[in-house]
Amino acid sequence: MRTLKSRIIGTLIALSIVVALADACASYWLSRKHIGELLDVHLQGAAVWLSAGKVGAIGTSGPPQHSIDGFVGQIWQQGRSTPTDNTDSEVLFDRTARDGYGFETINGQRYRIYTLRRGGELTYQVGQPVAFREQTAGRAALESLLPMLVLIPLIWLAIPLIVNAAFASLDAASAEAETIGISRLTPLDVSHAPQEVRPFADSVNRMIARLQVGIDTEKRFVADAAHELRTPITALQLRIDNLANASNEAERRERLVALREAAVRAATMIRQLLALARADAQLDPNATQIVDLRELMQWLVADLLPVADARSIDLGVQRFEPARVDARDSELRMAVRNLVENALRYTPEGGCVDVEVFTDGPDAYVRVIDTGPGIPDASLERVFDRFFRLQSGNGDGTGLGLSIVRSVVAKYRGTVRLENRRDGHSGLIATIVLPASAT
């Protein structure tokens, strides 16, 4: 796989080649054009020089290759068929050519000619072979390319050096990032990073900070879980010892019941710890399904109705409207069950627990209303903390139920809130709000 650095170097080299070729072509064309114009100026100057009687200065007698700049000069006098002066007897221009510049082909050779007439009696013509002009212009144009031929290799050598220097800070950041691990979550040093890379480096540092917070949270959770598990495990050990020391069958049966209660408590805490771990796991969008909240609530009410009847609690439904959400049925069922079980646990005998399911705008609502003692306002948010338990007469909770509810609901971009009743009755209102399914 090609690296970004190699792609940039390759692109810059290719771009330099294209630019060099375009510049070479333009320079070659312009050099030939300017040399041609300069030779035209010399051609005109030679004609003026010839009109001043400086025939010998035009060139030596003989072929053009022996004359200076390849010039051939001729002077024509009106009425004569041959020139009075001619620097090359083998070349004869057309004396009737118009004044100024023109082209003629003589003896198979093309000439650039300048014609000058003065006083009507004399005609001065100076010509130069086109081949000589092109050779001169081409040589000058090629010479103009020599700096470019030297400069291009230097540019090719400079491009990797410049790119490597520009990437040096990234290489240093990459080497520093390689040292980052669970035991070393230090932010990257972005003080020397290029401005274009700074947003990416800052986002990496923010990610490192989030990882640090998450790892610290998990460490606290493991420590709290280990601390909390000591109590039920210790209780199990004590119950086992008590059972072994029972003096009679009745005492043995009594202590066996206590042992089973301690085992159930330990199993409940372990089950909820596993449930919380699953709730905290990252959401897999492919694992969600459309959950009918009415069907879910009907199942829960039917399942928990014997618990409510055993304590003479009226478990019923008030508002019951169609509502669907995108979630995993098992996780959402667990979250709602925790709310209903909490309501049944803390509602005194003869009380009432009502559930509601409805939609309001883009959101779906699940609400559980009880007639229990409620929660002190100062603790309404703290009860969502893991292992936090209110000092109440009912001490069989683990302090994880509401934490599971919040983790599950947050996983599906929802919210959960608790509020004390303000309608003249004591009790608590627990509300789950989730985005309603678009299907």
The pLDDT tens digits for 107-124 are: 888 888 888 887 778 888
Model confidence at 5: pLDDT above 80: no
**pLDDT at residue number 353:** 94
Higher pLDDT, 242 or 312: 312
Q: What is the pLDDT of residues 16-73, one digit of tens each?
A: 888 888 887 887 788 878 888 888 888 888 888 777 775 554 554 444 444 446 778 8
pTM for the full predicted model = 0.50
Per-residue confidence band for 264, with pLDDT thresholds at 50, 70 and 90: confident
Q: Over 50: is that where the pLDDT of 91 sits?
A: yes
Which of 23-37, 70-84, 243-257, 324-338: highest mean pLDDT? 324-338
Residue 312 pLDDT exceeds 60 = yes
Give the model's pLDDT for residue 58: 54
* Euclidean distance between CA atoms 90 and 246, whole angstroms: 144
Return the pLDDT at 63: 42
Q: Where in the chain is the domain with CATH 3.30.565.10?
A: 285-435
Q: What class is the 4-159 domain? A: alpha beta
Between 260 and 60, the more confident residue is: 260
Q: What is the pLDDT of residue 79?
A: 77
**Stretch(es) of the chain classified as CATH 3.30.450:** 4-159
By mean pLDDT, which of 30-34, 315-319, 422-426 is the weakest? 30-34
pLDDT given at position 370 = 94
CATH code for 285-435?
A: 3.30.565.10
Alpha carbon distance 316, 408 (integer Å): 24
Question: 355 pLDDT band (50/70/90 cuts)?
Answer: very high
Class level of CATH domain 198-278? mainly alpha
pLDDT at 367 over 90: yes
pLDDT band at 291 (very low <50, low <70, confident <90, very high): very high
CATH 1.10.287.130 residue window(s) in the chain: 198-278
User: Above 70 in pLDDT, residue 221?
Assistant: no
Q: Which pLDDT score, from 0 to 100, does residue 430 have? A: 93
Percent of the chain at pLDDT exceeding 70: 82
CA–CA dist 319, 355 (Å, integer): 7
Question: What's the full length of the chain, in residues?
Answer: 439
